[in-house]
Amino acid sequence: MKNKYLYLAMALVFSSSTTWAADDDKSSAANTTKQTAAANAAAKDWAVKPLQHVTAPVVKQQKWVRTPIDAFILAELEKQNIKPSRETDRGTYIRRATLDTWGLLPSPTEIEAFEKDKSPDAYEKLVDRLLASNHFGERHARRWLDLARYADSAGFQGDQTRPNNWRYRDYVIASFNEDKPYNQFAREQLAGDELWPDNQTARIATGFLAGYPDNSNSRDLVQRKYQIETDYTDLVGEAFLAQSIGCARCHNHKIDKVSQKEYFQLQAYFANTVVNEKTPLAKGTELDWDKTFTTQQAAYQAATKEIRDKQKAILDTVREKGRQYHNERYLTDSRDSIFKAEKDWNPLDKWVNWRLKAVATDADISGYLKVSAEDKGTPVFDAANIEKWKDYQKLTEDLKKFDKQKPGRGSKTFTTLAETGVQSPQTFVRFGGVHERPLEAVEPGIPALWTIAAGVASPAITPTANSSGRRTALANWIVDPANPLTSRVYVNRVWAQYFSNGISATVGDFGRAGEKPTNPELLDYLATNFVDKGWSTKTLVREILLSNVYRQSSDERADLVKIDPDNKLLAVYPRKRLEAEEIRDSLLYASGELVDQVGGPSVFPKVPNNFNAGQLWEASKGKEDDNRRSIYTFVRRSVPYPLTVSFDPANPSNPHHKRDVTTTPLQALTLFNSDVVFGWSQALAGRVIKEAGDNPEAQINKLYEILFARKPSSAEKSALKDFLKNQDKLIAQRGWDKNYSLAVPTGLTEEDTKKLNPLKAAALVDLVHAVANSNDFAYRF
């Protein structure tokens, strides 16, 4: 039996938590929303207590303290008589810091410069260089997009492309790069349309909320409204406040003191929110992609004008009937709104009709034309439509001939939130969370648990000219400096990005079921300092990177086994598996193949031939598609990009708080067998030859510098040299195709390629590929 257990050891790092009997009814919240009860409960809830301005503690080894962070960590270590770990070497530090801030590897030049820099501010210079790069925004944006459940498609069965969602993605990258204050960042994303209706960037920011998974063919629009608002509520509760508020939708929260009524009061902030996915770009704001798209679209439209005009003319003859037929597909209560005269519309009717219009297309009309022409049994059968349908189909065939001229990726539009007016539809408490069972109506309000302890009351709501003002009120409350949750949650997330675990390990749950912070003073220091310094992410990251805690070695320490088995005190730097995007991007970058361009429409890198995604995965257009950073890879909800999918990337269905680490054979298959990875190994081998010449020892040293920022150990060196000695002989004995094809290093000039001994060159590719598969590559230490 032992063998059975041994077969597949996979390590997991979950977002952990101390209480697992969480759904225990005994801990169930009382059925009350009385503020006094909530206030009592809040006494136990550390996360909602007011922030404390803490000063750094006094420590014995004052010399070790470079930043206040160090004092907070060291004070705890000293209490336990633990020594911090030695400072790591510069190579390890620059690899670690570059991966953490950029998601890429440092170059040999950068490593050498840093290692040789004897000036007292060498680390400061390095860190400032890292923070100033666009790569910083690309790296940090990815994790924010995890929270925003970002995707380039709508999800569900149709999973249609959202052709301008990348503008929101680029907004996030730009925000991190320009170090936009987090309070501003939050307000733009929650209520940019209400607060700055004339500012396109602020409106694009609301793509945060607008990115919900959606099925445009839903026949129950009233239920869809509820689903969308549920998504908004849970998203905001989780992303900004780390509150598992969704639990209170079906019943009073069983752990945290949030009632079901309070849940729906929070949901009421979104009751009047609609989305416009096709807002035209303001003149002068078009980017190069948009201009190209516009030109291509104009050419396509000119070429197809006659056909499309004819099609339109046919549809126009049945448009009214077709629309009627289509609208009848909606269910009873949706139809009540749809077939009501516009003058009688209440706010709910307005919402339903906005949605109806947003999802209506000409395909609805042609669908009717088909049914009415083909199905003799149907009541809408109309013999007059038979010819029309034939003509229409013929035109569709004609139109297909122009498919190749269709404009590429890009758009002339952006997506933004909006509202249908000042008045909001009513929000109801729903029994068991079930849509079909509405109970009492509620007004917007913040759960007492989050307001009482901190003394930040529910905000007043002021409508704007054509909007309810509800989201503005919510946003302002969220970023109120006195609101302890927002800053605590955010600094804890950033900390977790640099130290694997948060100060509270449950980065997505600051409720009672979450873990208490291991160092509450440090958390409050970081949170207050963050707000005081203008909500600056870069300032926060800078302090972390320059701390002695971050500079420690990650070497194992057996002396800590009993004292701090989970490394909560951080006497050792925590080593970590690279995230999905880091693995791909680092290989790509090391190979020298990275197309380093910030922003733009998402791309479709090459996928294996048997991927079977049909039209949902477009064919790669070449290097521009294949070799961009992973953040620009198209996120199709139903078809994840196969090269990175097994490395625990974010799941775009829900806010994704923490990257798990699983180790699976599918990962091994991907890295070892993918033609793409192998191709990068060929390119990296070419780079090694270019930079190190043809001496095997120099090649091995160069490779280790590029991938690991260190020299190989003597054991490694001898294993690698032995391999090179034998591999070319093995290759010589292999079976051959008629062209004697062999994978040799790429990226060299034709002349240099000719100089290579093909067998030895192929052996070097194999060596590079094996090294790129090793643990030393997949981890940062």
Partner 1 sequence: MSSSRRDFIKNTGLGLGAASLAGVIPGLGTISAATAAELIDPLAPKQPHFPAKIKSVIWLHQNGAPSTLDLYDYKPELVKLAGTVPAPSFLKGIKTSTQGGVGNLFASKRTWKQYGESGAWFSDLLPNLAQQADKLTFIKSSVTVGATHDISILKLNTGDLSPGRPSLGAWISYALGSANPDLPSYVVLYNGDREPAAGSVNWNSGFLPAIYQGTAFRPGPSPILYLERPELRAEVQQRSSLDLLKKLNNIGSAERPTDTELQARLRSYDLADRMQTAAPEAVDLTKETDATKELYGLNDKVSESYGTTLLRARRLVERGVRFIQVVTGAPQGETEVTSWDAHSDLEKNHGVMSKMVDKPIAGLLEDLKSRGLLETTLVVWTSEFARTSYGQSGNGRDHNPWGYTQWLAGGGLKAGFTYGETDAIGLQTADKDKAVDTYDLQATVLNLLGLDHLKTTFLNKGRSERPTVVYGRVVKEILA
Euclidean distance between the first and the last CA atom of the chain, given in angstroms as a whole number: 35
Which range of residues in 257-265, 477-485, 590-598, 606-614 is near partner 1 by CB under 8 A? 606-614
Question: Does 661 participate in binding partner 1 (rule CB under 8 A)?
Answer: yes
Question: Does 555 participate in binding partner 1 (rule CB under 8 A)?
Answer: yes
> Among residues 299, 662, 710, 752, which is the contact residue for partner 1, using CB under 8 A?
662
Q: Which of 734, 736, 758 is nearest to 746 (CA)?
A: 758
> Among residues 470, 657, 702, 780, which is the contact residue for partner 1, using CB under 8 A?
657
Question: Taking the complex as a whole, how short is the minimal distance between the CB of residue 381 and partner 1, in angstroms?
Answer: 7
**Residue 158, helix vs strand vs coil:** coil
> Among residues 97, 255, 454, 491, which is the contact residue for partner 1, using CB under 8 A?
255
> Among residues 474, 571, 692, 700, which is the contact residue for partner 1, using CB under 8 A?
571
Question: Taking the complex as a whole, how short is the minimal distance between the CB of residue 472 and partner 1, in angstroms?
Answer: 27
Which range of residues in 119-127, 245-253, 352-360, 474-482 is near partner 1 by CB under 8 A? 245-253
Closer Cβ to partner 1, 95 or 542, answer by number = 95
Angle at 115 between CA 111 and CA 119, to 5 degrees: 125
Binding mask 184-223 for partner 1 (x = CB under 8 A): -----------------------------x-x-xxxx---
Question: Does 6 participate in binding partner 1 (rule CB under 8 A)?
Answer: yes
> Roughly what angle, to the nearest 10 degrees, separates helices 90-102 and 122-132?
20
Question: Does 543 participate in binding partner 1 (rule CB under 8 A)?
Answer: no
Cβ pair 473, 444 in contact under 8 A: yes
Q: Which of residues 123-142 bind partner 1 (CB under 8 A)?
A: none
Which range of residues in 178-186, 322-330, 413-421, 488-496 is near partner 1 by CB under 8 A? 322-330
Question: Does 566 participate in binding partner 1 (rule CB under 8 A)?
Answer: yes
Cβ pair 439, 431 in contact under 8 A: yes
Q: Which residues share a beta bridge with 467?
A: 464
Cβ pair 95, 708 in contact under 8 A: yes
Question: Does 304 participate in binding partner 1 (rule CB under 8 A)?
Answer: no
Q: How many CB atoms lie within 10 A of CB 553?
A: 18
Question: Does 756 participate in binding partner 1 (rule CB under 8 A)?
Answer: no
Closer Cβ to partner 1, 124 or 375, answer by number = 375
Question: Does 19 participate in binding partner 1 (rule CB under 8 A)?
Answer: yes
**Residue 260, helix vs strand vs coil:** helix
Closer Cβ to partner 1, 126 or 248, answer by number = 248
Q: Which of residues 26-55 bind partner 1 (CB under 8 A)?
A: none
Helix (H) or strand (E) holding 206: none
Query: 193: Cβ–Cβ under 8 A, 6 or more apart, which residues?
Result: 202, 203, 206, 416, 417, 418, 419, 467
Question: Does 160 participate in binding partner 1 (rule CB under 8 A)?
Answer: no
Question: Does 740 participate in binding partner 1 (rule CB under 8 A)?
Answer: no
Burial class (CB in 10 A: 0-12, 13-18, 19+), 566: exposed
Q: Which of residues 440-499 bind partner 1 (CB under 8 A)?
A: none
> Among residues 673, 695, 749, 757, which is the contact residue for partner 1, using CB under 8 A?
673
Integer-rounded Cα Rg, in Å, for the chain is: 29
Question: Does 719 participate in binding partner 1 (rule CB under 8 A)?
Answer: yes
Question: Taking the complex as a whole, how short is the minimal distance between the CB of residue 647 and partner 1, in angstroms?
Answer: 8
Q: Which of residues 373-402 bind partner 1 (CB under 8 A)?
A: 374-381
Question: Taking the complex as a whole, how short is the minimal distance between the CB of residue 569 and partner 1, in angstroms?
Answer: 9
Question: Does 2 participate in binding partner 1 (rule CB under 8 A)?
Answer: yes
**Residue 466, helix vs strand vs coil:** coil
Question: Does 734 participate in binding partner 1 (rule CB under 8 A)?
Answer: yes
In single-letter form, the type of residue at position 377 comes to G
Size, binding site for partner 1 by CB under 8 A = 150
Per DSSP, the residues of 751-777 read HHHHHS-HHHHHHHHHHHHHHHHSHHH
Q: What does the block give as tokens for 750?
A: 């034709």
In the DSSP assignment, the letter for residue 443 is -
Binding mask 79-118 for partner 1 (x = CB under 8 A): ----------------------------------------
Q: Which of 555, 502, 495 is nearest to 529 (CA)?
A: 495
In the DSSP assignment, the letter for residue 259 is -
Burial class (CB in 10 A: 0-12, 13-18, 19+), 691: middle
Closer Cβ to partner 1, 526 or 743, answer by number = 743
CA–CA separation, 266 and 233 (whole Å) = 7
